[in-house]
Amino acid sequence: MRSQKGQATGSGPAGVLMIGALRLYQWTLSPVVYALGVRCRHEPSCSHYGVDSIRAQGGWRGFFLTAGRLLRCRPGGTHGYDPAPRERKDVPFWAITRFRDPPRRQITPPAGQRDDEIQK
């Protein structure tokens, strides 16, 4: 169900089940994995990202956004702050690659150059 502005107003029964599974993971397996030394590369963690994306986008889009996030969480993958998209893009349900904007890379200055000297 969508509101007039294209925002997801509810996640439906599938979304409730997905959020329940993510919460079960957060309460049971996540502390065990953390105790074994495995840490998340992103902020918020992938399970919190999944809950946020399902709440904001609905079950279908939230599932694919979370799957994409899990695929980015690997050695050589992205890291840092990567929140779930809040606004629902008006794209067809089958265009899963267009559900979110591509991540923006930060420009770091070369060694010996100040931040205000970066040419854009």
State the average pLDDT over residues 84-113: 70
CA-to-CA separations, 81 to 36, 45, 60, 94, in angstroms, rounded: 23, 9, 23, 27
pLDDT tens column, 92-106: 777 776 677 666 665
CB of 88 closer than 8 Å to CB of 8:
yes
49 pLDDT above the threshold of 80: yes
Q: Is the peptide bond before 44 cis (omega within 30 degrees of 0)?
A: yes
Residue 51: predicted pLDDT: 93
What band does 84 get if pLDDT is binned at 50, 70 and 90?
A: confident
Domain locations along the chain: 12-102
Residue 1: predicted pLDDT: 44
